[in-house]
Amino acid sequence: MDINEFDKLQHERNTKQLAIDFDGVIHKSSKSFYDGTIYDDPVDGVEEALKQLSKDYTLIIYTCKANPERPLVNGKTGIELIWEWLKKYNLDKYIEDITYFKPNAKYYIDDKSIKFTNWNQVVGEINAR
């Protein structure tokens, strides 16, 4: 495969993927990190949104909970805990993968993001928080 074919395949794949943060976007996470467990309900409207988005995109969850260096919680990895939680709320059918790194994607959906326009705008937003 030459570089142009590789670029084309990567572009096609990336434009069909959405990367979605877990805590605060799918899982309410009202107590923030707390004890590492997944203790809260889904964010309001998430099931309908995932259902609709999964029709056109591959949905990938990215979260620090999936980091393999993270300690086990109740004998389980973060990925295992998230899949269990997704299955409990019947959301697993919309998700393709769970990872701790930021995957290639067309869009990133994250509750802590700052949209980059220029560095003055970014620094201003951070300082205003």
Backbone angles phi, psi at 31, to 5 degrees: -105, 15
Q: Which amino acid is at 41?
A: D
| Predicted local confidence at residue 7, as pLDDT | 61
Q: Strand 95-99: give its sheet, edge to edge.
A: 95-99, 58-62, 17-21, 107-109
What is the set of domains in the chain, with CATH numbers?
A: 3-128 (3.40.50)
Question: Is pLDDT at 13 greater than 70 in this prediction?
Answer: no
**pLDDT for res 60:** 98
Tens of pLDDT, residues 29-83: 999 878 889 999 999 999 999 999 999 999 999 999 999 999 999 999 999 999 9
Would you give the distance in Å from CA 97 to the centre of its chain? 9
